[in-house]
Structure 1
Amino acid sequence: MKNILIGYARCSTDKQDLEIQKSSLADLGIDASRIYSDHGLTGTNRTRPGLDQALAAVREGDTLVVAKLDRLARSVPDARWIAEQLTERGVKLQLGASVYDPVDPMGKMFFNILATFAEFEADLIRLRTREGMKRARALGKLRGKKPKLSELQHKELRRMYDTGEYSISDLAEMFTVSRPTIYRTLARTSKTQQV
């Protein structure tokens, strides 16, 4: 049985670059055509097409290689689930230059420690993000999404709708917004008028 190396790379946001991970995987001997990737998907999101392709590509005796464990999974249960799936299929998991051996107690402990740190790091990022947003909101720097229609357009839309001469589709076309936006605007303006 020939041991084929299959690589997987992932970055969480569209602004991040996969090239460093792909370069690391190439340095470990993985052919570029055998590197699967996900761009703009977090490790906590289990729906990752690139990971699914990599898992489908590995066969018994092969090795799935990731630059770091946090590129594969950001939670302990997910990391364990992936490792168990690979073990059941006779596929090895390589983290950087180290091959994870699920039969070896030290290897299993090391893998669990890495998975715990990856999950802890993801939790810290979420916590810092929430704290940053809370602080920005308190300072008035985070105002949410800009409305599609101005206050004047809201009033005009309501006035035109109340005449009964315009349908929702007509208004959506005239104001270049979607029908749901028209419905939401009408619901908001009727509420504010009742106050």
Structure 2
Amino acid sequence: MTLTLPHAPGPRAFGSAADVTADGATWLTSAETYPRRVLADWRARPHEPAVLSCGSAFDVVSVPAVFGRRMVDRLWHEGPGSGPVALHRGRVLLFAAPGTAQRLPSLLRWEEWGSAVPSLLCHGAGDAVTVPPLARGDHDRHGSRWVVAPDTRSPWLPGPEVVLWACVRAARGTAEPAVGISIFPSGDQSAKVYDVSRRR
């Protein structure tokens, strides 16, 4: 699979918070029916979370926090990076390309490692999500903060294949290491093995 490089900055330390830029806030509210009103209300209360619609500007994949952290680590250290990422009430919110919420569950059902992925909540068309405040403040009160904050009007967003790749990598990374089984007794590791199959 060919992965496109993102235009977003790398994540900060996972527990730290980042601020949304003016362009990032404009992009986040662009999915709303009345984006200017929503943006004005949000800017008037920049330390409060907001509820935004999914499906047109972005989809959101919500993952349990520990597994989500592994996914983000894989995306940034082995893959193409991520779009905006937030923490909200014990879950990681991965912002993804529109259509990801519809396609990802079926891709996971077909994937060998899909059963090792914890429950994902995929928010797409017709759904809404609570996102962290625009600016850092008393974010612990809300249990909400940006890890990779939106900083442009057109951020790179991973599609369903990239999110699937991160899910599989994170699941494989948490699996128990394979147990090595030898056909030799422990004291006879240097024994010679001969091919006794009949050649035709």
Q: Same fold (TM over 0.5)?
A: no
Computing the radius of gyration from Cα coordinates, the structure with the larger value is 1
Q: Which has the higher contact order (CA 8 A, sep 6+)?
A: 2
Q: Which has the higher strand share?
A: 2
TM-score scaled to structure 1, two decimals?
0.23
TM-score scaled to structure 2, two decimals?
0.22
